[in-house]
A and B are shown apart, each in its own frame.
Chain A
Amino acid sequence: MAKREPHSFRTARGLISATAGLILSACVHTAAAQESGRLLATEGVSQVEGAAGGGLAPWALISGYETRDAIGATLHGTMIGLNDFGLGSVGASAGFYDRIELSYAHVWFDTGSAGGRLGLGDGYTFNMDVVGAKLRLFGDAVYDQDSWMPEVSAGVQWKAAGSHAVLHAIGAQSADGADVYVAATKLFLAESLLLNATLRGTKANQFGILGFGGDRDGSYSAQFEGSAAYLVTRRLAVGAEIRSKPDNLGFAREGTAYDAFAAYFLSKNLSATLAFVALGPIARQGDQNGIYVSLQTGF
């Protein structure tokens, strides 16, 4: 429980404000510069925890439309309507010199009427803050069309969830956690196909909204996330994703998440993503399927 770990919690809050400051200054910087040197759609969209990627998986691509000579930034807002719940994410990210990405996302999980059935009260909402950092290690997903080498990045997502008493009651070990991942992304331009594979080490229950670790399993596990996107036109990509998740809590089983998406890039400054998502069972309310809508601005 985070309240028993005030130091790490303070560290998380400190990280959040420091990241917010960096991203804000990057936004101001890029709004002034407006070069947008990279090619359309080469930043993907913002995944639910705020990193550049698909909807579910972080990709190796660095957010924003800037090249290795400049700083780019994005803002995103995402709403997911599920059978029994609502999930939302707003955030910002900055890409520095196509090398380092910093991101922040606030994620909320509205239990709606299921909150009453779970004894939390109708409309009870869980909250989580995520600070992300991503480093591009090698490769270029777009330029290296003469080799099979993907663009590879490593990242970390520091997460701080609220609702400490509830998380403790359902058996979560902590309200704070850090996910680490390695992502490999390749654009097969001649085939108009983008593939991504991400390996994540995590303890998170339902992305971390329900805390970290549990009575069934308290250790890190390796999870796989895959994305495939087909470029239909210069502005439209359609694809699908898979994201496996740990199953740590005895109180409610957790399964693999899927989505099928269409992302429309109106310009480098605006993209919209519509997806069908299947997040698996959540909090004993059965399989949760729904519609994912996301808007993103990029610079």
Chain B
Amino acid sequence: MMRVVFAAVLFLGAYGSARATDSLFEQLGGEPGIARIASNALDIYFTDPRISGDFDNINRDFLQPRFTAYLCRIAGGPCIYKGHSMKRAHKGLAINQAHFNAVVEDLETAMDRAGVPYHVQNRFLARLAPLERDIVTR
């Protein structure tokens, strides 16, 4: 029974992600849309008391173009990200799961404010969720 369920999901999932690769970047609004999402998100990250401490020593002018390029690349857009890997970038920051989840929640709010539909948000978050393994070190 489980095998049948998983086979069905595998099929649906493969179908869904084949379409998603082409359309997610566009559905997020292309480069301007993703730039807006990144800007909205950083607005919140630098002020959210749950996580703002992690951004104390970070120059936003340095971070924003890199963050935007990274999100663009994850979304399947034609951007080049030249920064560190997520593992290297967060090394030694002692980020826990609650911090990671706060960043996700704030990104959801940023996408809400950019008018990204909920199910498009989920497709994007599905690509970001596995970063938990690289970013959470505590």
Contact = CB atoms under 8 A, between A and B. Distances in A.
B16 interface: yes
Contacts of B12: 191
B55 interface: no
What interface size band does chain B fall in? 20 to 34
Given A195-B5, A226-B5, A231-B122, A188 B13 contact: yes
Interface of A: 35, 37-40, 67-70, 98, 140, 142-146, 148, 184, 186, 188-193, 195, 197, 224, 226, 231, 233-234
Nearest to A70: B98
A186 to B, nearest CB: 8
B63 interface: no
Interface in B99-133: 101-102, 104-105, 108, 118-119, 122-123, 125-127, 129-130, 132-133
B17 interface: yes
Contact of A192 (B20, B96, B119): B119
A296 B9 CA distance: 30
Interface in B48-97: 96-97
Given A67-B101, A143-B132, A195 B9 contact: yes
A235 B82 CA distance: 37
15 contacts: A37-B102, A39-B101, A67-B97, A144-B129, A145-B127, A146-B129, A146-B130, A186-B9, A188-B126, A189-B122, A189-B129, A191-B13, A224-B1, A226-B1, A233-B118
A197 B1 contact: yes
Given A67-B97, A145-B130, A190-B16, A184 B122 contact: no
Contacts of A186: 9
Contacts of A191: 12-13, 16, 122
Nearest to B10: A148
A234 B9 contact: no
Given A39-B104, A39-B105, A67-B101, A144 B13 contact: no
Contacts of A192: 118-119, 122
Given A143-B129, A190-B123, A148 B6 contact: yes
Contact of A144 (B118, B125, B130): B130
A286 B105 CA distance: 47
Contacts of B96: 37, 67, 69
Nearest to A234: B118
A148 B129 CA distance: 14
Given A145-B129, A146-B130, A190 B20 contact: yes
B21 to A, nearest CB: 11
Given A145-B129, A190-B17, A197-B2, A37 B123 contact: no
